[in-house]
Structure 1
Amino acid sequence: MKTAAVFAALALAAVGCTSDEPEPAPPVSQPCQTDPGTPEGKFVRQLLDADDYRTRVEKAPDDLADGLKEELKARAEPGRTEFRTPMCSFALNYPRGSGSDTLSVDFHWTSRESPKGTGRPADTHAFYNVNGHYGESDETLSVLHVECALPGKLGTLSQQNLLVASASNTSYVGTAVKQEVRDRQIHFLYLMARQATEALGCENEPLKKDPVVKGYKTPEEAAKATP
């Protein structure tokens, strides 16, 4: 009888302890996810030419959005210089790579009246229109211009500026021009930029659709193309 009473008391205590515990929080969405089964993961592995790499999250989604919004506000200041906000980077693990062998993604704003490309010679680049968004890419650097309509006080400023996504791949060691590498770069950049526009809360959901990449011979043709 005494043993039964002890077990009964322990059972009641266990019920009492667990009933007051809060429900577990839902999993937090992780930025810069490149799982093997995802398109992002496929492109990272192709661009790095490796399965073994490490991911560095430079800015979590909320921090990325806050930083970009503050930078957009600052663009109203006269003489404001361009400031890039890093999102994440992917680096080859030793012994394949050194600390400089990375695929990185960052963001900044540029004026819609005079948007800037990569600044590299036009004959070294491929030019794209991806679902209505202008892009450029060579084997190591790509940019994508995105119209992001923000709500509230930032609405006017977001209409005057474009969000620019940039990807840099310093791990590329090829010397020949490879169109498929350029195409992968712009595909990858679109998918990573989608994470940024979702974090920002762009009301027009500019990158909601899956990327349809169309290449053009000149930047003028790519800029004027319709999706």
Structure 2
Amino acid sequence: MTATALVALTATACSSGDSGSRVEGLCGPAADSAAGKSLREVLGTDDFTAEALTPDDRFAERFKQDLEEWGGGPNSTSPSFLCRFVPEDSKNHVLLGFAWSPADQPGKERARGGTVYDVSGATGTAVPLATELFAPCELGGELSGPSRKAVLRADATLTVDRGRDTDRQRETSELSFLYLMTREAAKVLGCENHPLADDPVVKPLTGSTP
């Protein structure tokens, strides 16, 4: 994503303060929820600002429109960036977005040279500063056909200092967070197959050893 695009996104963001408690919807998971606990583990702090770059209803509307326009093409759609989480007194951040990808892409091609993981049945990939998660999202009505040709792709760009964590520890935490946030996004979208219902269990399939 270009710097210009990021500026355009953050210009419409709503800063929450108070550890994200004032942001509602997907970008404001409760501190005692699984997603909220996982977010704080990734950030390494309870003190952060949550920014909602797109309201939940607008995200769902735009995302379904993207699927309708995509219609089963060979390439992924452009990601819709939804949330940004910034630890206090830090230039680091976690940026969360979603896109549609062709359902027939094998996991190894998705990994872009990184590590491929199984996350409770979903495919996750990790490279330095970025993780992705792919999960089926079956919609009803006119989007039934297109949604079965695609998978929901979650993207997290992370510039958070995790101290002495190994790559495997860091990627496990980040993919668990991405899994939980994708589960909430699937609820907003109305995925009829209810993906990612289980707790996240992250298992490496390929790539570097710990």
Q: Sort the Cα spacing of 1:45 and 1:139 in 2 relative to 1 into closer, same or farther, 3 A.
A: farther
Given that 1:128 and 1:134 are in contact with CA atoms closer than 8 Å, whether structure 2 keeps it comes out as: yes
Return the TM-score normalized by structure 1: 0.72
CA contact (8 A) 1:141 1:168 kept: yes
Q: 1:107 maps to which residue?
A: 98
Structure 1 unpaired stretches of 5+: 1-28, 219-227
1:53 paired residue number:
48
Amino acid at match of 2:97: D
With 38-47 and 52-61 compared, the bigger mean Cα shift is at 38-47
Matches within 5 A, 1:75-224: 75-76=70-71, 82-94=77-89, 97-98=90-91, 101-114=92-105, 117-119=110-112, 121-122=113-114, 125=115, 127-138=116-127, 140-172=129-161, 177-217=166-206
Going from structure 1 to structure 2, the CA distance change for 1:64 and 1:77 (only over 3 Å counts) comes to same
Structure 1: how far apart are the matches of 2:71 and 2:47? Answer: 43
Letter in 1 for 2:136: E
Q: Residues 191, 157 of structure 1: CA spacing in aligned structure 2 closer, same or farther, 3 A cutoff? A: same
Aligned to 1:13: none
1:102-121 deviation digits (Å, cap 9, x = unpaired):
111100011112365253x2
Shift of the 54–114 alpha-carbon distance from structure 1 to 2, 3 Å rule, reads same
Relative distance call for 1:76 and 1:142 in structure 2 (3 A) is: same
The Cα shift of 1:160 comes to 0.8
Structure 2 counterpart of 1:108, one-letter code? A
| Secondary structure at 1:188 match in 2 | helix
RMSD, aligned CA: 2.5
Residues 82, 98 of structure 2: 8 Å contact kept: yes
Contact 1:74 1:80 in 2 (8 A): no
What is the aligned partner in structure 2 of residue 40 from structure 1? 35
> What is the rounded CA distance, in whole Å, between the counterparts of 1:32 and 1:81 in structure 2?
23
SS of the aligned residue for 1:189 comes to helix
Which piece of structure 1 moves more, 181-190 or 80-89? Answer: 80-89
Query: Which ranges of structure 2 fall in alignment gaps of 5 or more residues?
Result: 1-23
Aligned residues: 183
Paired residues of 1:190 and 1:207 also in contact (CA < 8 A)? yes
Structure with the greater alpha carbon radius of gyration: 1
For 1:225, the equivalent position in structure 2 comes to: none
Q: How big is each residue's C-alpha offset from its partner over 1:4-54, in whole Å with a ceiling of 9 and x where there is no partner? A: xxxxxxxxxxxxxxxxxxxxxxxxx63222333222222222222222110
Identity of aligned residues (%): 27
